[in-house]
Amino acid sequence: MAPRILLVRHGQTEWSLLGRHTGRTDIPLLEEGRRGAKLLGERLRRAPWSGLPGLEVRTSPLLRASETCELAGFGDRAEPWDALMEWDYGAYEGLTPPEIRAEAGPGWVIWRNGVRDGEALAEVAARADEVVEWARSADRDVLVFAHGHILRVLAARWLSLDPSFAARLKLDPASLSVLGWAYGAPAVDHWNDAGHLEG
């Protein structure tokens, strides 16, 4: 069996709801985020996932991701990993895109222009490559709990694409995505699936 990687973006936080860039600021989930994490866990305990026995589980050490992991029922199996931390937004931490554009110019886009005094996109991609290498290192699936931008970059690198391709990948809080294989090449099995939150 070729290994797959299951990606979970953390549940809703106050800053994700407001569109604020939340890199290394360690904020908790909102009640809506806690509910989403629990619903995701219920989904993963049912067929076809059946609790995902035998999977290796890693989580960003930041509270919003580790709390999502715990509430979904995987906390006792998870190992924290700094490689899964969100992009360090530097001077843009806590700001919304309109606030950043007021300073950086109206054409600012994070995927093209990056951030001031933070991590370069290439550095985020290097961390994503580390996760991809780990995921492909053995004959088993893996499950990771992390953040919107790092997971989007991870998907781009799984596909051997430039990290800026991540701009084309929307990712909602408490969503489930699966990266696998098609015809022997890396592929996207599911993306941004939030069916467990509906109803």
Radius of gyration for the chain, computed over Cα atoms and rounded to the nearest angstrom: 16
Q: Is 86 annotated as a binding residue?
A: yes
Out of 10, 21, 149, 196, the active site residue is: 10
Out of 56, 67, 70, 86, the active site residue is: 86
Q: Is 89 annotated as a binding residue?
A: yes
SS3 189: strand
Q: Is 64 annotated as a binding residue?
A: yes
37, 88, 41, 89: which is closest to 65 by C-alpha?
A: 37
Instruction: Respond yes or no: is residue 190 known to be catalytic.
Output: no
181, 180, 187, 176: which is closest to 46 by C-alpha?
A: 176
> Please, which contacts does 25-32 make with residues 24 or more away whose CB atoms are closer than 8 Å?
25/93, 25/94, 26/62, 26/63, 26/64, 27/63, 27/64, 28/63, 28/64, 28/67, 29/63, 29/64, 29/67, 29/68, 29/71
Q: Is 22 annotated as a binding residue?
A: yes
Instruction: Respond yes or no: is residue 86 known to be catalytic.
Output: yes
Q: Angle between the 63-71 and 31-45 helix axes, to the nearest 10 degrees? A: 40
Task: Please give the annotated binding residues for substrate, written as ranges.
Answer: 22-23, 64, 86-89
Task: Please give the annotated binding residues, written as ranges.
Answer: 22-23, 64, 86-89
Task: Give the catalytic positions in this structure.
Answer: 10, 86
